[in-house]
Amino acid sequence: MIENKLLKYILANTNNKKQLAVLIDPDKQDLIRLKEIVKKIDDKKIDLILVGGSLITDSIYDTISTIKKHTNIPVIIFPGSYFHISKNADAILLLSLISGRNPELLIGNHVISAHELKKSKLEIIPTGYMLIENGSITSVEYISNTKPIPANKPDIAVSTAMAGEMLGLKLIYMDAGSGAKHPINPLMISKVKQNINIPLIIGGGINTKQKLKDAYTAGADLVVIGTAFEQNINLLDEFIEIRDK
């Protein structure tokens, strides 16, 4: 691992060039289809690949190995729990679920996994993870046993993100949850962006070019897309044009 290599990459592009990441959920891909998806991702020069999910019954190690066989795009673990540590990734988002009040997801799991994380030699990226309400209950809300920030309360999102930055977290990831009915409101994104100096990641429910454009225009530095590409990987052709505009 090169010291903070991926964090430096995200920082170098922030406020400079929009970034797009594809989220791969090991449970939703068989390895043959995954190969096709990864070839496409590689061809389109996506910035980053995130691997994770709220459950994960299939091996995260095998999924990452398959990805690594077909591309050099960096792979970052987006863990659903402290079981999701796999040495063959490049980095892991060490998530602190700062929108919630579940101590296990604020510090408990981090204590349990500290030795394992250090041993793994993964680049560790401390990330303030914020769930935003989207009109229906998502897997992450249910599994994390936390309440998301109400969609119409941008001020709470701003203060939460600011507190995360002050605590020393390196990224803020605001997520409406996988397959969210509505993505995060652009007004909330722009208010948060105006009040923090660390990169802002946005995800959840972004399934059209317009929604992607809205997120970037509002201030997202990196957008994560999972469900839309699981359903149709060819959307990548047009989505990448929005990133590069």
Instruction: Using CB under 6 A, list all residues that contact ligand 1GP.
Output: 23, 175, 178-180, 203-206, 224-228
Q: What is the CB neighbour count within 10 angstroms for residue 1?
A: 12
Which one, 111 or 135, has the nearer CB to ligand 1GP?
135
> Per DSSP, which regions of 106-234 are E strands?
123-131, 171-175, 200-203, 222-225
54-to-8, 24, 45, 67, 178 alpha-carbon distances in Å: 27, 12, 26, 20, 9
- Least distance (Å) between residue 61 CB and ligand 1GP: 20
- Least distance (Å) between residue 139 CB and ligand 1GP: 9
Which one, 198 or 222, has the nearer CB to ligand 1GP?
222
- Least distance (Å) between residue 240 CB and ligand 1GP: 15
Task: Give CA–CA dist 128/167, Å, rounded.
Answer: 9
Phi-psi label, residue 144: left if phi above 0, alpha if psi -120 to 50, beta otherwise:
alpha
Residue 10 contacts by C-beta under 8 Å, 6 or more apart in sequence? 19, 48, 171, 199, 221, 222
Q: What residue number has its CB nearest to ligand 1GP?
A: 203
Which one, 179 or 219, has the nearer CB to ligand 1GP?
179
- Least distance (Å) between residue 21 CB and ligand 1GP: 9
Which one, 79 or 205, has the nearer CB to ligand 1GP?
205
- Least distance (Å) between residue 79 CB and ligand 1GP: 11
Which one, 121 or 138, has the nearer CB to ligand 1GP?
138
